[in-house]
Each structure stands twice: as structure tokens, then as C-alpha cells.
Amino acid sequence: MNSISKQDRIKGTLMGAIIGDALGLGPHWIYNPQELVEKFGAWIDDYMAVIPNPRFPAVWASRKDLKLGDVSQTGQVYLLLLESVAVNGKYIESDFTKRFDGLLETLDGTSAGGRYTDEAMIDVWNAKKEGVEWPYAGSYKDTAEAAMRAPIIAALHADDQDAALNTMIGNVALTHCDPVVVGQSTAFGMHIWMLINGIEMKEIAKYYHDHRSEFNIRFKAASNWTGTDAALSLRDHEVSFTDALDRPSVIYDSAHDPRIQIEPAHLVSRLYTPDCRITHLLPAAYYLASRYESDFEMAVLSAINGGGNNMARAALTGALSGAMNGLSGIPERFITGLEDNERILELVESLV
């Protein structure tokens, strides 16, 4: 990993996240492993078309016209942030939220709006409709959309750990105000920051403990926070996520411990449960990125073939594996098959 340049790792994590999102768009939210095989074949290995899903009819209604390589609504928000920091050369919260407002205006507050509106985004949409201003419109849902944006901040501030940490916290809290979710999402982003800077997955816990004094996290969970009061308080308090910072190294060791076997590896999604909770998605992503530490394709496709919310799992795995293997380690077909890939690559290049 250390032979891969920092610039290549930055490009790898940024492209890896959005590629994982787009790979998951077609086979998204099929929880039964056998059903996934019946509908998409024994092994999904590329972008797939969206098909009707009786369990989630709103998914079909909102995505039936999308093309191979298109991104989800979460991917759209990711690209809004990427474009904002690329155009401005820095993170300007008001610029990002203005772009975000433009997307929200195209939605109707139902799950069938846009490219499928998830529960956290519906909460944000409702808050904005009720007149809640940024940055206080965040949701309490424990999903992973904010974590997916964190690699952009990690890349933007790749040379400044403190700026990465504090900017990340603020961006995550725009859409997710639960202190635990903010902590988990920010920890993930800081893991990306460490990988970008050449710290291997197995060394993350050691790095954290060697630099513990630098992680002066400025939030603290408070059980009596409710509604907007929580968001108002969030930026003035501390949330501890020290255990989350340790997590990747423990999972890395487990992935390489011959006494611990998960075969086939994509069924790690069944172990941690294949749903949308960030606390279930992250361990699986860390496992797959560790298990296939030199193989972006196997890591991300294993996330896809695990079913359930494979789109989020693959985006998180793609960000990790992209940071570990660089853009040079991502198969060309995943890059060229991504819709609007030339523009996205230009945005990515501008951050390097």
C-alpha cells in the first residue's frame, strides 16, 4: 500500500465510493440470497439494470428510467459535495447546502420521489419544509448517507488532520444529528484520512493510540436532547467515538485469522445483518476491504453480492478499498461504465 502515491489513493477513495454506489443501484435491496442469484445470476460482476422489486415498489417507481452506471440519490448528494469543493477549492457549507436545497426542491417528501428518497432524506426534506434552517435539519435515522460523504472531506483536507476532523463533523451533522451516528460516520471518514496518508488498516488502532491527544473530539452524547434542540447543541458538545476508531484494526486481524472463517466472504452481510443501519454496514465494509486488501474488485463485488443494502455497503467498501489500492487499482470497466465518468474524474482530479 505504501508504494501507492497519496494522490492515487485520494482519487481511488473518491471514485471507489461513487462506483460502489452505482454498482448497487440495480440489485439494491434484495435480502434473500437465493432471490438475488435467481434475478441477477450466480455472481454480479458489473453494473446492472434496475428491475421490479415487489418488496419495495417505490424503488422501481423512482428508478425504472435510470441507466446502467447511474448513481442513487445518495450518490447525487455525494456529487453535489464533490462539485462544491472542487469549484471552490475548499469546503463552504453555505455553497453545499444551496446545491443540496436545489435537489430537495425536486423531491416530494415521499420515498418514490427522485431516485428513491430514503428515510433520513425524508426527515431533512420535512424539516426544511417546516422552515428549519441549515445546519439544524438533520435526522435521527441511523443510516450511512453522511458517512459516504466523509471521504470527500478526508481528501480535501488530506494534509490537515484537525481540519478534516472538524469539517467532517459539521458536514455529517447536516443530515444526521444523532450523536452516535455522527461519531460512527466521522470515525469512518477519519479512517479514510489515515488510509490516504499511508497508514495501513491493521495499523489504524496503533496510529490512533499514538496520536490520541490530537483527537479532541468536540461532542458528547446527551440523552435529553430532542428534536431541533439536539442539532442546535450538537456543534457545541463532544461525542466520543474512540471504540469506533479502533474498529478497523480489530476487524482486519479477524479477517486474516485462520480460526475465523466466513465463506463465502460476501455472506459477511448475513453475519452483521444486511440492512441499512450504519452499525451493521460498517463492520461488513471493513471486513471485505481487509479480506481483499489488494483487490478492489473482489472487495466491492462481495459487498454487492451480499444483498440487502448492498449499495451503501459497496459505497463504503469502495471508499476504503479505493484508498488502499488507489485509482490505479480500480478496474477500468468500473470507471468507464460509470455514467458521466469524465466529469466526475475531472472533479476528482481537482482535489488532488
Please write the tens of the pLDDT for every residue from 107-140.
999 999 999 999 999 999 999 999 999 999 999 9
Give residue limits of the domains in the chain. Answer: 6-350
Give the three-class secondary structure for 262: coil
- CB count within 10 Å of CB 117 equals 22
- Say whether pLDDT at 225 is over 50: no
- Evaluate whether 18 touches 344 at the Cβ level (below 8 Å): yes
- pLDDT level of residue 210 (50, 70, 90 thresholds): confident
Residues 83-105, mean pLDDT to the nearest whole number: 98
b/e code 310-341 from CB counts within 10 Å (16+ = b): bbbbbbbbbbbbbbbbbbebbeeebbebbbeb
Dump strand ranges (E) for 274-348. Answer: none
Mean pLDDT of 280-289: 99
Convert the pLDDT of each residue in 229-267 to its tens digit: 444 445 555 566 777 888 999 999 999 999 999 999 999
pLDDT in the model for residue 234: 52
C-alpha cell read off for 283: 463492520
d(CA 320, CA 38): 29
Residue type at position 134: W
211 has pLDDT over 90:
no
- Looking at CATH, the fold of the domain delimited by 6-350 is given as ADP-ribosylglycohydrolase fold (1.10.4080)
Residue of 321, 259, 257 lying closest to 285 (CA atoms): 321
**Contact between 150 and 281 (Cβ < 8 Å):** no
Q: What pLDDT is attached to residue 239? A: 60
CB count, 10 Å around CB of 3?
7
Query: Residue 277 region, left (φ>0) first, then alpha (ψ -120 to 50), else beta?
Result: beta
Condensed to tens digits (0 to 9), the pLDDT of residues 6-51 reads 999 999 999 999 999 999 999 999 999 999 999 999 999 999 999 9
